[in-house]
Structure 1
Amino acid sequence: MPGHAEPSAGAPTYTHGYGAAVLGSHRARTAENSAAHLLPHLHDGQRLLDVGSGAGTITADLARIVGPRNLTALEVTEDAAALTRSELQRQGVDEVEVVVGDAHALAFADRTFDVVHAHQVLQHVPRPVTALAEFCRVTRPGGIVAVRDSDYEGFRWYPETPGIARWIALYLRAARANGGTPDAGRRLLAWAHEAGFEEAAPGASTWLYATPEAREHWARTWAGRVTSPPLAEQLQREGWADADERAAIAEDFRRWAEDPDGWFSVLHGEVLARA
């Protein structure tokens, strides 16, 4: 596909990791604020595969709609799968099957699921078109594949600060070095077409951080990520940002959060495709 060369091999490297700052952010995600494009198409009894279930909060919401025994959650490592299981247990959502596997080579028979859902997944995998083709393969004819990914180069914030501008440049560099596509949101429709979907409805939505509480939440998660493993270790190892610079970026986020005019908009691309 023009403008995007997929790596030929290699397991996904998750740039964010699963530290406290990341999980604190991810546990705020719900089906309502992160999968609204899919919700009107769900009902009890559908078999649903949730790829990249992570912190498990969206998974729990989806399971309550289709029925826990009808939902399978997939993660790439046992440690990540354990996070999903822990959240499902905390919410009392039993009977969900949580498995470990590779999105590029799903261990399910053809036409197994009515719905495949992946939130913030394709930006991190080395071969997103391959993953989408797999999602299609395991979905029954007429079923739905729903994907949503952010577009880091489409993020907008006010007021402009040197630290936050430096942060986005560093994150883009790190994510791409790890085989990811941090502007995945704008590419989802093209990837769906390349994967063979003939019917793919595009969409877009945002998260907005502009209230004091929302700004504090956003600043806390990114101040934590840029100063903690694995991102901080990568930036240090590659010589892209030393500890002093990372601390200055974190402080810029905190100052931004205290500004009553502070605004941060996170752009997402979405696709609902029919198998």
Structure 2
Amino acid sequence: MARYTHGQHPTVTGSYLWRDAENSAGYALAEMRAGRSLLDVGCGPGSITLDLARRVAPGPVTAVDASAEAVEQARALAEKEDVSDIDFRVGDVHDLPLPDGAFDVTHAHQVLQHVADPVRALAEMGRVTRPGGVVAVCDSDYSGMYWYPLLPELDAWMDLYQRVARANGGEPDAGRRMHAWARAAGFEDITYVSEVWNHSAPDRRAWWGRMWSRRILESDLARQAVAEGFATRADLEEISRGWERWSEHPDGVFVIPRGAVLCRVPG
């Protein structure tokens, strides 16, 4: 199992709550029909899970995450928003504690970039999906991200993240590999889709830049970078100031490309 680079710091999990079905699973919404059974792998704090559950209701929903802390956060959010009948579980995507062919749709968002064996993970998601069902997965692609102004601090951030994520056993450029991984996992009926997150509007820019100015100093990524010699504290402080500068720039642009696949399970 690869190490989750970001960790569970509030700068991480809090930022994930912005995500919903519309902005993070748009490519798969046509599959999220009322009455369908759904598995959400890597549910994190649960905002996407809850939105998808509303769309497939009254279909049953199971949500799995490798982090017990994340599962508890998702369960608490479901209670707060009065979304019932979601079965939350701790589990490993490489070896899901679920029977064969149990779900109409299996969904995973921003998961494969962090796992030790994305091909095995996809095959396992296919195993628990019924014949004729769909595995829907989406991941960002770090090397494809672009921003303006071209600040050296953001270049340093990208280089640092790439090195730490790969040291943890992940693949930060997962978005471009999704189709290849799906074929290697044995899928034949595969549709590749590209989507983007755009953090360039003034409110989005302020939120994204200030979030990263803290995350680079306070999260597990920051602690590991210093503890394992990838960067000094001074390096992280310089990157943080760069994020602040970017967030305040009136011409600031930041775009995140995301690659997704819809894989039909043969039946």
1:68 Cα deviation from its structure 2 partner: 6.1
1:117 is matched with: 107
Map 1:101-250 onto structure 2 (within 5 A): 101-250=91-240
1:206 touches 1:265 (CA, 8 Å); kept in 2?
yes
The corresponding residue for 2:4 is: 14
CA contact (8 A) 1:199 1:274 kept: yes
Report the AA paired with residue 60 of structure 1.
L
3-state SS, counterpart of residue 205 of structure 1: strand
> In the aligned structure 2, how far is the partner of 1:130 from the partner of 1:221?
33
Name the amino acid aligned to 2:193: G
Q: Which secondary structure does the structure 2 equivalent of 1:115 belong to? A: strand
**What is the distance in 2 between the residues matched to 1:105 and 1:99?**
13
In the TM superposition, what whole-angstrom CA distance separates every residue of 1:173-217 from its partner, at most 9, and x where no partner exists?
Answer: 000000000000000000000000010100101001111110111
How far apart, CA to CA, are the structure 1 residues paired with 2:68 and 2:239?
A: 32
The answer on 1:56 being equivalent to 2:46 is yes
Aligned-partner SS, 1:98: strand
Report the TM-score when normalising by structure 1. Answer: 0.94
> Are 2:69 and 1:79 aligned?
yes
Q: Is residue 69–residue 97 contact of structure 1 (8 Å, CA) maintained in 2? A: no
SS of equivalent residue, structure 1 residue 201: strand
Q: Which deviates the most, 215-224 or 51-60? A: 215-224
Code of the residue aligned with 2:49 in structure 1: it is: T
Deviation string 1:120-179 (CA, Å, 9 cap, x unpaired) is: 000000000000000111111110100000000000000100100000000000000000
Query: What residue ranges of structure 1 are gaps of 5+ in the alignment?
Result: 1-10
CA–CA distance in 2 between the matches of 1:153 and 1:123?
13
Q: 1:221 to 1:242 in 2, by over 3 A?
A: same
Other-structure match for 2:33: 43
- SS of 1:37's partner is helix
CA RMSD after TM alignment:
1.0
Q: Say how many residue pairs are matched.
A: 265
- Partner Cα distance (1:141, 1:49) in 2: 15
- Distance, in Å, in 2 between the alignment partners of 1:146 and 1:126 is 19
Deviations 1:20-53 (A, max 9, x none): 1112210000000000011112211111000000
Deviation at 1:229, TM superposition (A): 3.0
**Partners of 2:92 and 2:58 in 1: how far apart?**
22
- Tell me the percent identity: 48
The one-letter amino acid paired with 2:71 is: A
Q: CA deviation at 1:105?
A: 0.7
* Amino acid in the other structure paired with 1:90: K
Q: Which whole-Å CA distance do the structure 2 matches of 1:45 and 1:172 have between them? A: 40
Q: 4+ residue stretches of structure 1 with deviation over 3 A?
A: none
Residues 24 and 221, structure 1, Cα contact 8 Å, conserved in 2: no
Shift of 1:69: 5.8
Q: Distance in 2 between matches of 1:220 and 1:23?
A: 15
User: How do residues 60-71 of structure 1 correspond to structure 2 at under 5 angstroms?
Assistant: 60-67=50-57, 70-71=60-61
In structure 2, what is the Cα distance between the partners aligned to 1:49 and 1:42? 11
Shift of residue 77 of structure 1? Answer: 2.5
TM-score by length of 2: 0.97
